[in-house]
Amino acid sequence: MHELMNIDIGHLISDQDQAGFISRADFNNFAAKYGQGFEEFQAPLRDKKSPITLSLGEASAITGIKELAQKLREKYDNILLLGIGGSALGAKAVLQFLHGPFYNLEKHGNPRMFILDNLDPVLVTKALGVVDITRTALIYTSKSGSTPETAAQFIFYYNKYKEAGGRLEDIVIICDPGDNGINHIARQLGCHLLHIPRDLPGRYSVLSSVGFLPAEITGIDSARLLAGAAAAHQSIIDTPLEQNAIFALGTCLYELAMKGKSIHVLFNYSSLLFEFGLWFVQLWAESLGKKLSLDGQVVHAGTTPLASLGATDQHSILQLFKEGPADKVLGFVTINSLPIDVTLPEAFPAEKEYSYFTGHTMGEQLAIEQMATEMSLVGAGRPCYRLTLRDISPEVLGALLYFYEALVVYTAKLWHINPFDQPGVEEGKNITYALMGRQDYSQRRPDYEQAVAQFKQQGVRLKLS
């Protein structure tokens, strides 16, 4: 992993015992205090018992995924990928990091990929306006198969597709194995059906067919993504405690949370990492934000993730990071070697605001701005760490994704919570099912309707115009 990315946590620690940082003495005591817990985290990884290691077993699915991707590439100009949360965010992160922001506008001979991850009548209708549905393949990704937003999208496009004479057997459904509606539909349509390992939760599923199929369709070798993840895995289980990045960073983040750093900002210094930032937000939030501990105590665990984009957000939220509440720890993600750089030629030499650029590259400027921002935050007493990615390659991204998955699982151990469930999102779903008239929720419907009426009554409406 060290060849793919490296990490600097030096500015989470203070030798002067500065408030808001980890003291050197505390840091030196981590092994004694948390070493045992870290071994308990490493053991299931080593034995391939941790759910995140299920991704490593997905190597066997890659040949089939490549064949399917090839077929779809040959037949179709566009792909509409329907999914939400973990069924969309990872694929978006992969495509953006490896293809850049203009993939759909560039000429490369591969299908354009539209990932529709919201319930929005305007979005779904507009998408129909930009693709020829008869030249478009549908991928419906839903681990549970019961997510109402994605199901509604699928019903809409399935009908449009059928009306247009689309080949139903070319539809792709990606879901859990199981005896449920989505599996029944796939079998009824005789379409492609790819299964996600049952115990691999959706937000950890990017390194499975969920991320691999969109990657392959657009020309990314998913075996290289997985090779990067495998390298990260090996490093996490082999590296001794004192140099182990997951141990040091995870423990620092937990201890800083105990000191009131309740917000974890990931400040990504490349437009290619914007979607990765959103993937991180779901992973961190749903895995660590828990009311109950493993033994049933009310703990309200977790820290709030926030994704920022450098250099853009230096001009919006940075002011707050530096001078607002001291409740944040910031992680910078930078890319060491860019495949493209731009040297600025001389222009307006008489003007001091413009003349100093001559001969500098934009990559150099971005790196300077990142360091300047980080230094200024550390100087203001804000703890920061930095991940430096070797380059823009599938191996690096695979390692980065697996690194954060493992970091979340280790941090959850410190919080003593389950990182693989999300009980907090269920209630809203149940109310939706009941109010939308789902049959198996009919008994609960009157109660929910009454509760909704009461809730609305409690509102205090003010006039704005």
Ligand X SMILES: O=P(O)(O)OC[C@H]1O[C@H](O)[C@H](O)[C@@H](O)[C@@H]1O
Residue 461, SS3 per DSSP: coil
Distance CA(291)–CA(411), nearest Å, equals 15
The residue type at 83: G
Distance CA(266)–CA(310), nearest Å, equals 10
CB of 147 to ligand X, least distance (A): 3
Residue 262: count other Cβ atoms within 10 Å of its Cβ. 14
Measure CA 281 to chain center. Answer: 6
Q: 71, 160, 195, 429: which one is catalytic?
A: 429
Residue 300, SS3 per DSSP: strand
Residue placing its CB nearer to ligand X in the complex, 152 or 189: 152
Measure CA 344 to chain center. Answer: 34
Q: Per residue, what are the HEC states of 437-456? A: CCHHHCCCHHHHHHHHHHHH
Strand 172-175 with 112-116, pairing: unpaired
CB of 84 to ligand X, least distance (A): 5
Structure tokens belonging to residue 413: 């151990």
CB of 203 to ligand X, least distance (A): 5
Residue placing its CB nearer to ligand X in the complex, 165 or 428: 428
Would residue 429 show up in a list of annotated catalytic residues for this protein? yes
The enclosing H or E element of 378 equals: helix 362-379
Residue placing its CB nearer to ligand X in the complex, 12 or 81: 81
Q: 216, 255, 286, 405: which one is catalytic?
A: 286
Peptide bond into 311 cis (omega under 30): yes
Residue sitting closest to ligand X (CB)? 85
Distance CA(247)–CA(464), nearest Å, equals 52
Residue placing its CB nearer to ligand X in the complex, 42 or 147: 147
Would residue 39 show up in a list of annotated catalytic residues for this protein? no
Q: 107, 300, 315, 463: which one is catalytic?
A: 315
CA separation, residue 351 to residues 338, 347, 348, 357 (Å): 30, 9, 6, 11
Residue placing its CB nearer to ligand X in the complex, 146 or 239: 146
Distance CA(5)–CA(404), nearest Å, equals 12
What number of H helices and E strands is found in the chain?
17, 14
Residue placing its CB nearer to ligand X in the complex, 85 or 197: 85
CB of 89 to ligand X, least distance (A): 8
CB of 56 to ligand X, least distance (A): 21
CB of 286 to ligand X, least distance (A): 5
The residues binding ligand X (CB under 6 A) are 84-87, 142-144, 147, 150, 202-203, 286, 422, 425
For the CA atoms of the chain, what is the radius of gyration?
24
Would residue 286 show up in a list of annotated catalytic residues for this protein? yes
Q: Which residues are catalytic?
A: 286, 315, 429
